[in-house]
Structures are given as structure tokens and as C-alpha cells.
Chain A
Amino acid sequence: MEGIRLLLVDDEEEFRGTIAKRLTLRGISPEQAASGEECLSVLEKMPMDVVVLDVKMPGMSGIEALHHIKEKYPKTEVILLTGHATTLDGVEGIKAGAFDYLSKPIELDHLIGKIKHAYDKIRREEEKLKEAEFREKMEQQMIATERLASLGTLAAGVAHEINNPLAIIKESAGWMKLILKKDECAEIPRKQDFDMALNKIEKGVERAKRITLQLLGFARKDDSVLAELNLKELADEAIRLVTREAANKDIEIVQEMDIPGNTIWSDPYQLRQVLINLLTNAIHATGSGGNITIKLEVIGEEVALSVQDTGQGIPKENLERIFEPFFSTKSPGEGTGLGLFVTRGIVEKLGGKIEVESRLGHGTSFCIKLPKYLEVKEGLAGRDHTDILNKIIKMG
């Protein structure tokens, strides 16, 4: 009964005062109201668990007040106090949603018992609600997991099918490059153009290959590379890949990367993926003529790389959810809802963290903090795997 919020409504001040005093002695201090109107205005300011409501009052009747309460505060329970000869009112009241009724004159223990019951009912309802919410959340998670699983199967299938034609393109381009290097081709016109285009094909294949490997969940440690990389160059590269999209919306990408110490040890491919994801998001969020700033800061043994846009910003209620898988505000088919989820996964794998700040109407800033030197943890799955294979080779 501790902490119960009770409102006592009766026009007879003496009666109300006595009951209130006696209730207080028993550990329940009620708020008081002298009329139906006052009752409603109290409820507006303070939510109540239980209202003990006299039926016969001048002005707004108890039954009328009950209707209002049930309409506006369905969780609040109401116990009606009826005159001795008017049990009919009580029945009427229960039909209208009252928890119960008591006939005047009332016995205090009786009243307290009823209040207790009403309060128990509220608590049970709350628990039920919590349980339902929990179950719904679980179900949603299960759906998400299932979606993830079926998406994984599909992605793996697609990636596998794409790998075969990719291999053909790769070998064809490689072969042509070999031919171009032969003496017999030394003099062919526009040879440089061919070379350039073939290099582009090979680079494109490499990129596609990385995507398929990532889709296959195969971007394991032995596929990931650790190298000293220049973040400015990396940013240049990432920006070049999104330039067209930005130009289509007349968005300017500003770089503030020219600072000393802009090299770190990390995985260039994964980090490039992170930058591309953040830049693409920024472009989608920013309206025509806006701009995006990509900025680098060195803080001790860490670097902070931020991508800031002048877009519409992210509403507060979405801000906590943007890193969840499949959370997307784009229409279905346009966004997978995986971009930031994957991005955060990569950043954390690289020993960093990602933060977001957003102001509605002003823009959003994503900041990734990365260690300058990625520590190679022991027991990398990939390395172990190679060791095992080497052992097998030696055994064989």
C-alpha cells in the first residue's frame, strides 16, 4: 500500500476531513477534492491510482465525474460512495467502469480493503502490460533475427553466384594486360587508355570481390589487412566514390584533414567502407546546396574523424535506434537498415567507437574515434586457421 496515490472526493467537508484523517493514520494520505470539477482538475495535475468518489454531489455528479475519469485516465480505479438507499447508483457506476462501490455510512476497514483491492488490480494490470511489452519486444527481436538469417542465406547465395562471373572478368582483364605488355603490342595506338581502363576493371572487380566476401561473412581476420594508412588519402578515395551522388544534389564536401599525424595503423578497406557509409548517409540526409564536412583531429593516442552534414537532423526518438539492424527511415527497398549497424560493427572491431550528435533542422555529426595503433589481439581466428593448415601441410 506504500506509495499509493489516493484522491478523496466528497462535498461534505466534515465527512471528507474525518475519513482523510483516519486514512492518514493508517498510512494512506489522500489528496482531497470537494466536487467533481475539482476532482478532475486535481487529476489533471497529479495522476492518481485510486479515486474514492461520492456519487451525490451538487454540480457535476459522481457518475458524471466517473465517466470523465474513465475516459481520460483509464488506468485510475474509482470506488464510489453511494447513499444508503441508492445502491442502484453503485450498480450503474460499476457498469460505467468503477472498481466497486460502498454505501454510506462506511466502515473504514471496508474502505481500506477496497482501496487495497483496487490498487492490487492496478499493479496486476501494470505487470501484465510490462509482460506484454516484453513479449512484443522478444517477438520483434526474433523477427529481426529471422530476417537477418534469411537475408544472410540470400546474400551468401547471391555472393557465390556473383563470384563466378567476377572470376571470369578478372582473368579476362588480367590476360589482356599481359598481352598489352608484349613487344608486339608496344606500338598500338592509345595503349595507355587500354591500360587505364583495364586497371579500372581490375579495381572494380577487387571492390566487388570485397563486397561479396563481406556478404559471405568471410571478411575474416586473415582477409583483413593491417597497414599504415594516410587518413587524408583514404578520405580522398572515399569522397571520390561518392562525388557523383553529391554533385547531383549540388552538395559540397569540405575536407579539414590537413594536419600532422594523419596516419594510423588500421584496416584501410574496412575503414574506407565506414567512410563511404557515413558520407552516403550524409548525402541522403542533406538537401540540395548543403555541405558536408569531413574533419580529422588527433587527440593523444587517438584520432577522431567526423562527418558532419547540414541536413534535417535526426529526431531524438530515432537517435537511439539508428545503430539497430534494420532500423531505417527510408521507404522499403531504398535502405536496408544495415548501413550504420555494419559501420558500428566495423569501428568496434577496429578498436574504436562511434558517436552521433544531431540537431533537428541543423544537421548531424558522426564521429569515429580510432586508436592510432590497432593492437593485434592474440588468438585471431584467421591466423589460427592458417596455422592449422600449415600443420596439416607439414603432416601431409
Chain B
Amino acid sequence: MIKIPTRVLLVDDEKDFVEMLSLRLEEVGERVTPAHSGQECLEILEKDNIDVVVLDIKMPGMDGIETLREIKRRFPIVEVIMLTGHGTTETAVEGMKLGAFDYLMKPADFDDLAVKMEGARKRKDEQEERIRKAEATFLLRKSGNI
């Protein structure tokens, strides 16, 4: 079976980390777009189709929570997994309340990340499916009325 790649946007200000995790994710068949700031993340979401954003919470400039809020406002269907550092459990909870799919503590376990990414991707697929169905019903009803 051919794996359908998840389109991942990896956001972290640690360039080496982004580079290595991207290589590793691509090696297992995901498609990764790197970004190094919240701003860059939003710009990419604007033009590319992304399934899951893996988002570092602690970044200079626009931090993870701010970025998350913006993502959920502008691209509500995109799923977000947060990467948190120490003492940021409160931030993790806040992020979950804002609509993040889940969080992982750095340095995260690759298998954990894979499982959570799969879950996030699934939730997005299902949501898209529901939207499609709703749209179809809507269209049917509309055409029925004519």
C-alpha cells in the first residue's frame, strides 16, 4: 500500500532541529514544509495546502500561542500539534483550549509524534469529509428546489 503523505508544516526557530526532523519525517514518507517563525508559518498556510502544523511554543517574535490563535482564526480546519518546553503545561492547556489537537514535550519521541500526527490528520480528513457531505446535501436541496 502506498502511504498518502501528510502535509506537515514544521515551525521552530531552531533551524537544525527543523532540518533534521524534516529529513526524518520525509524519510518515512511525509511531506514537510519548514518554517522558522510564526509569521513564516502563516504565510505558508496562506499559499500551501497543509494538513498538520507542528508548532514550537517558545519562539522569539510571534510566539506559538499567538500563532496558534491566528491559525485557528484563519485556517480553522488545519490541525496543530504543539511542542512545549519545561514549565509550559499551562501553555499546553491554553493551546488545547484554543483548538490545538495535542501537545508533545521536547525532546519529543518520534513514535509519539507519528501517532499524534496520524490522529490529527484523521480528524482533519473526517472534518473535510463532513464538510463535503454537508455541501452535497446543501447542493442537492438547492437543485431539488429548482
A163 lies within 8 A of chain B by Cβ: yes
Closest approach, in angstroms, between the C-beta of A184 and any C-beta of chain B? 12
Closest approach, in angstroms, between the C-beta of A16 and any C-beta of chain B? 76
Indicate whether A171 sits within 8 Å of B17 (C-beta atoms), given known contacts A178-B27, A392-B97, A396-B96. yes
B75 lies within 8 A of chain A by Cβ: no
Q: Do A167 and B27 touch (CB < 8 A)?
A: no
Instruction: Tell me which residues across on chain A come within 8 A of B93, comparing CB atoms.
Output: 388-389, 392
Q: Do B27 and A156 touch (CB < 8 A)?
A: no
The listed residue (B17, B86, B92) touching A159 by CB distance below 8 A is B86
Residues 68-108 of B, flagged 1 when their CB comes within 8 A of A and 0 if not, give 00000000000000000111010011001101011001111
Q: Do A164 and B17 touch (CB < 8 A)?
A: yes
B16 lies within 8 A of chain A by Cβ: yes
B14 lies within 8 A of chain A by Cβ: yes
Residues 149-178 of A, flagged 1 when their CB comes within 8 A of B and 0 if not, give 000000010011001101110111011001
Residues 353-396 of A, flagged 1 when their CB comes within 8 A of B and 0 if not, give 00000000000000000000000000000000100110011001
Q: Do A179 and B107 touch (CB < 8 A)?
A: no
Instruction: Tell me which residues across on chain A come within 8 A of B20, comparing CB atoms.
Output: 168, 171-172, 175
Q: Do A218 and B23 touch (CB < 8 A)?
A: no
Indicate whether A164 sits within 8 Å of B27 (C-beta atoms), given known contacts A171-B21, A218-B86. no
B24 lies within 8 A of chain A by Cβ: yes
- Rounded to whole angstroms, the CA-CA distance of A168 and B23 in the bound complex is 12
The listed residue (B24, B28, B87, B96) touching A393 by CB distance below 8 A is B96
B110 lies within 8 A of chain A by Cβ: yes
The listed residue (A168, A175, A388, A392) touching B27 by CB distance below 8 A is A175
Instruction: Tell me which residues across on chain B come within 8 A of A164, comparing CB atoms.
Output: 14, 17, 106
- Which residue of B is nearest A202, CB measured? B110
Q: Do B107 and A167 touch (CB < 8 A)?
A: yes
- Rounded to whole angstroms, the CA-CA distance of A218 and B16 in the bound complex is 25
Q: Do A168 and B96 touch (CB < 8 A)?
A: no
Q: How many residues of A contact B (CB 8 A)?
A: 25
- Rounded to whole angstroms, the CA-CA distance of A17 and B23 in the bound complex is 102
- Rounded to whole angstroms, the CA-CA distance of A341 and B125 in the bound complex is 51
Q: Do B86 and A179 touch (CB < 8 A)?
A: no
Q: Do B28 and A167 touch (CB < 8 A)?
A: no
Residues 63-77 of A, flagged 1 when their CB comes within 8 A of B and 0 if not, give 000000000000000
Instruction: Tell me which residues across on chain A come within 8 A of B97, comparing CB atoms.
Output: 392, 396
Instruction: Tell me which residues across on chain B come within 8 A of A388, comparing CB atoms.
Output: 93
A43 lies within 8 A of chain B by Cβ: no
Closest approach, in angstroms, between the C-beta of B58 and any C-beta of chain A? 9
Instruction: Tell me which residues across on chain B come within 8 A of A171, comparing CB atoms.
Output: 17, 20-21, 23-24, 110
Instruction: Tell me which residues across on chain A come within 8 A of B85, comparing CB atoms.
Output: 160, 163
The listed residue (A167, A389, A392) touching B14 by CB distance below 8 A is A167
- Rounded to whole angstroms, the CA-CA distance of A166 and B109 in the bound complex is 12
A249 lies within 8 A of chain B by Cβ: no
Q: Do B24 and A168 touch (CB < 8 A)?
A: no
Q: Do A393 and B102 touch (CB < 8 A)?
A: yes
- Rounded to whole angstroms, the CA-CA distance of A218 and B108 in the bound complex is 14
The listed residue (B16, B96, B99, B107) touching A389 by CB distance below 8 A is B96
The listed residue (A156, A166, A167, A385) touching B87 by CB distance below 8 A is A156
Residues 13-32 of B, flagged 1 when their CB comes within 8 A of A and 0 if not, give 01011001101100110000
- Rounded to whole angstroms, the CA-CA distance of A218 and B89 in the bound complex is 10
Closest approach, in angstroms, between the C-beta of B140 and any C-beta of chain A? 30
Q: Do B87 and A168 touch (CB < 8 A)?
A: no
A205 lies within 8 A of chain B by Cβ: yes
- Which residue of A is nearest B21, CB measured? A171
- Rounded to whole angstroms, the CA-CA distance of A166 and B106 in the bound complex is 9
A-B contact pairs, 28 of them (CB 8 A): A156-B86, A156-B87, A160-B85, A160-B86, A163-B107, A167-B14, A167-B106, A168-B17, A170-B110, A171-B17, A171-B21, A171-B110, A172-B20, A174-B24, A175-B20, A175-B27, A178-B27, A205-B107, A209-B107, A216-B86, A218-B86, A218-B105, A385-B89, A389-B93, A389-B96, A393-B101, A396-B96, A396-B97
Known: A167-B17, A168-B20, A392-B93. 19 other contacts (CB 8 A): A156-B86, A163-B86, A166-B107, A167-B21, A170-B107, A171-B21, A171-B110, A172-B20, A174-B110, A178-B24, A178-B28, A179-B27, A205-B107, A209-B107, A216-B86, A218-B86, A392-B97, A396-B96, A396-B97
- A contact residues vs B (CB 8 Å cutoff): 156, 159-160, 163-164, 166-168, 170-172, 174-175, 178-179, 205, 209, 216, 218, 385, 388-389, 392-393, 396
Interchain residue pairs A-B with the least CB separation, the first 7: A167-B107, A171-B20, A175-B24, A216-B86, A178-B27, A392-B96, A171-B21
